[in-house]
């Protein structure tokens, strides 16, 4: 795995606006954790007026430590509430099935862990990852020994290096336990993410040497959602990216993009995009160009 976290903003609906409102950065975990994690993500904010961020979540589990005036929040990666106290809260954010909107006010701090799709189960094998999908739960449901000292240890340091070290220590205390099936699941999701030709579950199953039913079980246990859902989610991320990178004078050729992403026609892309992002792709692109 690369020692450097990825730098793209895929999934963030309006990254330019987000980055003007909050201090956002990513850091790499300790080498022993890198096969299982995308990165750590740290956010601090000091706002004079409320701000709402919008994210189309990745097929990833997140662990979120937060200290803010927003009672019972799960940070920008998730939603819902979690346990904690004066030192902050800590939650497990399962894969978000729809658009996530997070309202930020006043001052606050988040220290998050984004696992690779398929990378969470080696740390918490009691339940299939699908058990957490669409849910935000107190972190103690997955890691019962988590106490206020661990939460404060992550959130209290002023320096990023100390926060990262605390996150490393927390995760290394819980694993990872090597699991060849987790490795297989992570590799298959990476294939879907990087190979645009991987558009059908049957093709992915053939590549994996599995029956479609066995592939479904693997994804439910280790990823948390089915392979078709993962394929569709990465399509929407690509469509968002294309809309943002389109020349200011125009918008993407949606019909051509639909074909490239494996949709049978433009209407299917428009329907999926609108259902996930909340607005049609043409309206989204117009809003970006007007900003």
- Rounded Cα–Cα distance for residues 195 and 48 (Å): 43
Q: Which residue did the predictor score with more confidence, 214 or 260?
A: 214
Q: Which one, of 110, 3, 5, lies nearest residue 53 by Cα?
A: 110
Region for 56 from its dihedrals, namely left if φ exceeds 0, alpha if ψ lies in -120 to 50, beta otherwise: beta
Whether the predicted pLDDT of 273 surpasses 60: yes
178 closest CA partner among 36, 29, 40, 31: 36
The mean predicted confidence, pLDDT, of the chain is 87
Q: Could you tell me where the DSSP H helices lie in the chain?
A: 15-21, 148-155, 160-172, 180-194, 201-208, 212-222, 227-245, 254-260, 266-277, 281-290
Q: What is the pLDDT of residues 49-89, one digit of tens each?
A: 999 988 889 999 999 999 876 543 444 543 333 344 456 89
Dihedral sign for Cα atoms in the order 80, 82, 85, 89 = negative
Q: Does 285 score more than 90 pLDDT?
A: no
What was the pLDDT predicted at 247? Answer: 58
The number of C-alpha atoms within 13 Å of 55 and in the hemisphere containing its C-beta is 18
Q: pLDDT tens-digit profile of 99-132?
A: 888 899 999 999 999 999 999 999 999 999 999 9
Least confident segment among 30-44, 72-86, 170-184, 217-231? 72-86
Whole-model pTM over 0.95: no
Residues 6+ positions from 49 with CB-CB distance below 8 Å:
none
Two tokens, residue 39: 């990165």
> Bridge-partner residues for 112, per DSSP?
41, 64
- Spatial neighbors of 133 by CB under 8 A, at least 6 apart, are 94, 95, 97, 224, 225
Sign of CA dihedral 158, 17, 115, 137: positive
pLDDT at residue 75, as a whole number:
45
């Amino acid at each position: 795995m690369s020692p450097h976290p990825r730098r793209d903003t895929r999934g963030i609906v309006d990254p330019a606006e987000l980055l003007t409102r909050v201090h956002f950065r990513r850091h790499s975990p300790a080498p022993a954790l890198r096969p299982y994690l995308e990165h750590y993500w740290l956010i601090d904010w000091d706002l004079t007026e409320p701000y709402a961020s919008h994210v189309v979540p990745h097929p990833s589990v997140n662990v979120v430590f937060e200290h803010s005036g927003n009672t019972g929040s799960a940070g920008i990666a998730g939603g819902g509430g979690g346990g904690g106290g004066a030192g902050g809260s800590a939650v497990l954010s399962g894969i978000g099935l729809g658009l996530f909107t997070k309202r930020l006010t006043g001052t606050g701090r988040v220290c998050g862990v984004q696992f690779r799709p398929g990378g969470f189960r080696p740390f918490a094998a009691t339940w299939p990852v699908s058990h957490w999908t669409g849910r935000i739960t107190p972190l103690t449901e997955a890691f019962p020994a988590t106490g206020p000292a661990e939460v404060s240890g992550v959130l209290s340091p002023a320096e990023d290096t100390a926060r990262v070290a605390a996150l490393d220590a927390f995760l290394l205390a819980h694993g990872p336990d090597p699991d060849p099936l987790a490795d297989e699941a992570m590799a298959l999701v990476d294939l879907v993410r990087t190979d645009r030709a991987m558009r059908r579950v049957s093709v992915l199953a053939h590549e994996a040497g599995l029956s479609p039913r066995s592939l479904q079980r693997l994804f439910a246990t280790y990823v948390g959602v089915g392979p078709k859902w993962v394929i569709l989610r990465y399509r929407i991320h690509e469509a968002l990216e294309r809309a943002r990178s389109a020349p200011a004078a125009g918008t993407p050729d949606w019909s051509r993009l639909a074909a490239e992403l494996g949709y049978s026609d433009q209407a299917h892309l428009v329907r999926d995009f609108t259902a996930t992002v909340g607005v049609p792709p043409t309206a989204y692109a117009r809003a970006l160009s007007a900003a």
